Amino acid sequence: MHGPIGRVERLAVLLVITAAMFAGLSAVRFHPDESHWIGLSAPFETFFTGRVLDPSWQTREDRYMMAPMTYYVVGAARRLGGWTPDALNAPYDFNRSYSQNLADGRVPVPGLLEWGRRGVTAAAVIGLYASFIVFARAAGRPAAYVWLGLVLASPYLREVLRRAMNEGVLLAALAMVIWAAFRLLAELDRPRAQWRQWRLAGWLVLAGGAAGLAAQTKLNGAIAGFGVLAVMVLAAVRYQMSARRRAGYLMLGAVILAGSETAAFFASNPALWPYPPREIVRVVRARRQLMTAQTMRAGDAVMPTLADRGRVVPRRVFHDFALVPGAWASTWLVAAGGLITIRHLRRWLNRRNDNHAIVALAVIGAVVSAPALLTPLDWRRYYLLPVYFLGFPTVMAADWLARRAWQSLSAVRARL
């Protein structure tokens, strides 16, 4: 595993990411869903003033559809800009035109829209920064800087991650899951010392908590917990121990992980408090109904069969939105990077390297990206996670090719 980056360099990277992501924020094309996330962000004041038992949590029409983490981020940002709940717009009416929604006060005014976007963009900055730190440990600084340059220059990512919607917030939560899983694996490799078990439990609680917050940003974010569980299983295989001890380790870890994820999920959303088992069933049912309604009104964006998805999804992921232009180049680089990643994973399992960062990044990234590949809707933002996480093997393959080319050139020069 590559060494850590110094504090001054980390600070410089953070400043560059911040400057690049906030530049031209007002020029991002408006999406009607931004009206929803901004106009319904009043739960920020309710939650953070301690009114968690306020009846409004139970009377909201969207109580089973709300993802409060995005409301909290948007609400915190707009309050910093001086925008209080009484200044919020009404939610967008998709049955009416933009001009009609604008006339009815269903489109946020420019200042309110700008501050809502600043909150989500700040969350995206955290996600990009944490991803950079982990990837630098996994593949080295040159590869990490190439990846960062491609991400910051990507029109697709700059659009999706900077709107006042939940994608930027989701990325931040998932990046925290991956970072905590990486630190968990690194802690396992340290010599046994005082408080070591507590530190391991702490990283596991952080990973589970971040997964719970990801689920309260977008419901399928909950699958990040299964990614952490997969990392734990791989760790149990890597370290030599008896079957009984391995089973005990996995059982205890799964309990801590599930407990922390569940606690974060319910604690962050008082609308689910009266009777959590019943409420989560209703949340899943409401989400299924929403997906059905969206599919019915999506028109040409619907992909009803697996054949349709097999035709459209690869084109979107490997061509239209890929970090590297050109479908063939992107596809081959991802394939080569996948083989390189598998090789690293095999060596890690055999304890021939200590690249914990690539294990956390590859395993959790693959798990959280998979559902997006099965989406029945051809909507741009739904491809965020596969596009984002496939950028890592893309750059790893390019880095490997560059190193091989340099070695070949050096060998030729040495013979001259």
Please indicate, yes or no, if residue 188 is contained in any of the structural domains: yes
Q: How far apart are CA 75 and CA 53, in angstroms?
A: 19
User: 41 and 132 in one domain?
Assistant: yes
User: 290 and 341 in one domain?
Assistant: no
User: 11 and 101 in one domain?
Assistant: yes
How many C-beta atoms surround the C-beta of residue 226 within 10 A? Answer: 17
- Write down the mean pLDDT value for the chain: 91
Closest of 224, 232, 206 to residue 359, by C-alpha: 232
Better-predicted residue by pLDDT, 302 or 75: 75
User: 141 and 5 in one domain?
Assistant: yes
Closest of 117, 251, 137, 228 to residue 174, by C-alpha: 228
pLDDT tens figures, 295-319: 777 777 788 788 888 888 888 999 8
pLDDT tens figures, 105-120: 999 999 999 999 999 9
Phi-psi region of 246 (alpha: psi -120 to 50; beta: other; left: phi over 0): alpha
pLDDT tens figures, 241-283: 788 888 888 999 999 999 999 999 999 999 888 888 888 888 8
Number of domains in the chain: 3
What is the pLDDT at residue 228? 97
What is the pLDDT at residue 361? 97
User: 146 and 18 in one domain?
Assistant: yes
What is the rounded average pLDDT of the residues 385-410? 91
What is the pLDDT at residue 406? 85
| Residue position matching structure tokens 């009609």 | 100
Q: Can you say how many angstroms the Cα of residue 21 is from the centroid of all Cα atoms in its chain? A: 16
User: 132 and 36 in one domain?
Assistant: yes
Q: How far apart are CA 266 and CA 81, in angstroms?
A: 29
Q: Are 207 and 221 in contact (CB under 8 A)?
A: no
Long-range CB contact pairs, 350-353, < 8 A, 24+ = 350/238, 351/238, 353/1
Asked whether the predicted pLDDT for residue 152 surpasses 80, the reply is yes
pLDDT tens figures, 135-149: 999 999 999 999 999
Q: How far apart are CA 403 and CA 362, in angstroms?
A: 22
User: 346 and 260 in one domain?
Assistant: no
Q: Are 120 and 169 in contact (CB under 8 A)?
A: yes
What is the pLDDT at residue 261? 96
Please indicate, yes or no, if residue 304 is contained in any of the structural domains: no
pLDDT band at 208 (very low <50, low <70, confident <90, very high): very high
What is the pLDDT at residue 193? 65
| Least confident stretch, 32-36, 52-56, 224-228, 385-389 | 52-56
Contacts of 406 (CB under 8 A, 6+ apart): none
Q: How many helices (H) and strands (E) does the chain have?
A: 18, 0
pLDDT tens figures, 178-194: 999 999 999 988 777 66
What is the pLDDT at residue 369? 94
Please indicate, yes or no, if residue 82 is contained in any of the structural domains: yes
- Structure tokens given for 156: 């697709």
What is the pLDDT at residue 115? 97
Domain that holds residue 85: 1-165
Please indicate, yes or no, if residue 303 is contained in any of the structural domains: no
- Going from the C-alpha of 175 to that of each of 148, 280, 300, the distances in angstroms are 14, 25, 33
What is the rounded average pLDDT of the residues 384-396? 95
pLDDT tens figures, 328-382: 888 999 999 999 999 999 999 998 888 999 999 999 999 999 988 888 888 889 9
